[in-house]
Amino acid sequence: MNGPDGLGGISRPGRLAAPGEGITPDELALAARNHGLPLEALRYDVTPPGLHYVLVHYDIPDASADDWRLAVDGLVRTPLTLDLAALRSLPAVTRRVTLECAGNGRALLTPRPVSQPWLVEAVGTADWTGVPLRVLLDEAGVDDGAVEAVFTGADHGVERGVEQDYRRSLPVAVAAGDVLVAYAMNGAPLPPQHGYPLRLVVPGWYGMAHVKWLRGITLVDAPFDGFQQAVAYRFRWDADDPGEPVTRILPRALMIPPGFPDFMSRARVVRPGPVLLEGRAWSGYGPVTRVDVTTDDGATWSDATLDPADGDPSDGHAAAWRHWHAPWTAAPGTHVLGARATDATGRTQPLTQPWNRGGFANNLVQRIPVHCL
């Protein structure tokens, strides 16, 4: 079916859903490809294979580790071309990192930005193994004039009329910090959907920065103005606003929905008596220092107990989620549960939706209706 552009709608601009407009077939197709974390899987410190959320803009490329090459070029003294064997021969590090899509929460917004319709489940935690990016940058020798590193994936597509390879940049100072070029996830080669054979991992940053199927790193002397940097992933309030870039992950707590679900509505059923409320909390700005829990839809809040931070704390960076728990005694009736994370910088979760046109970084407190029977 051809749209007004004569190309089946491939150059349609981004849009907001009309009042009362349900999820469209296009959004359903995206949701079927890009799945979330089943919330009961919040029970695992490290998300088991296949349960980590997935977000792929175009197609998963056909890739083979045997002939994969990573080029490091642009403003460097010695351009490099590395194969997987060369990368594996360098000292490896493993980091436990919680990854979250910047669009998490989008489908709950009013009006709804029409795109991948996440509710709250676009998150997962993995142990990523690879080479610190700074090792490769040191080996190549970054020129003083370089301001950003541009990362290119092997996937190709068209988005709002712009044909492109998936590309994102980081300022050189960020790239030379805590960033990994990873070839393993949870001790095994990356699965195809998570970037096989090579991806970037940028602890603390929303998912769009973690370029998968990484084939090129180019040092440039001006801020990168590619689509995924200058058009997408910006906080805008109207279509003409140049906006601010989306960067680090805002705090969020999620609760494992207690009891058992109704098949269609996923409303929860619990029995009267003690119920352990538990979940995970994370922030890309610093350690989560507090989680508050409500069982009366935000009328009152009480402190949950935080377990020690997970993963490797050696660099003091809060890269993985923390487990939390709180006791509750369920009484017959309907209750709305929620949890609210606060981090060491004082950032916390809003109680009313933080709307923007792309539906990014919507860390509104999760609401879980529960029927106690």
Residues lying near ligand MTE in the complex (CB under 6 A): 52-57, 99, 101, 124, 153, 155, 166, 194, 207-208, 210-213
State the Cα angle at 235 between 176 and 165, rounded to 5°.
60
196 binds, among Mo ion, ligand MTE, none (CB under 5 to 8 A by kind): none
Shortest reach from residue 245's CB to ligand MTE, in Å: 14
Q: What is the largest CA-CA distance in the chain?
A: 70
Shortest reach from residue 263's CB to ligand MTE, in Å: 27
**In the set 74, 132, 207, 287, which binds Mo ion (CB under 5 A)?**
207
Count of other CB atoms within 10 angstroms of residue 173:
9
291 Cα distance to chain centroid:
20
Round to whole Å and give the CA distance between 237 and 187. 42
The residue to which tokens 């989620």 are assigned: 321
Round to whole Å and give the CA distance between 128 and 195. 12
Return all residues near 48 (Cβ < 8 A) that are at least 6 apart: 41
127 binds, among ligand MTE, Mo ion, none (CB under 5 to 8 A by kind): none
Radius of gyration for the alpha carbons in the chain, expressed in angstroms and rounded: 21
Shortest reach from residue 32's CB to Mo ion, in Å: 16
Closest CB to ligand MTE among residues 153, 287: 153
Q: Report how many residues bind Mo ion under the rule CB under 5 A.
A: 4
Round to whole Å and give the CA distance between 259 and 261. 7
212 binds, among Mo ion, ligand MTE, none (CB under 5 to 8 A by kind): ligand MTE
Interface mask (CB under 5 A) for Mo ion, residues 85-114, using x and -?
A: ----------------x-------------
Nearest to 186 by CA among 330, 39, 50: 50
Q: Which of residues 38-57 bind Mo ion (CB under 5 A)?
A: 55
**Which residue's Cβ has the minimum distance to Mo ion?**
101
Closest CB to Mo ion among residues 236, 371: 236
**Site residues (vs Mo ion, CB under 5 A):** 55, 101, 207-208
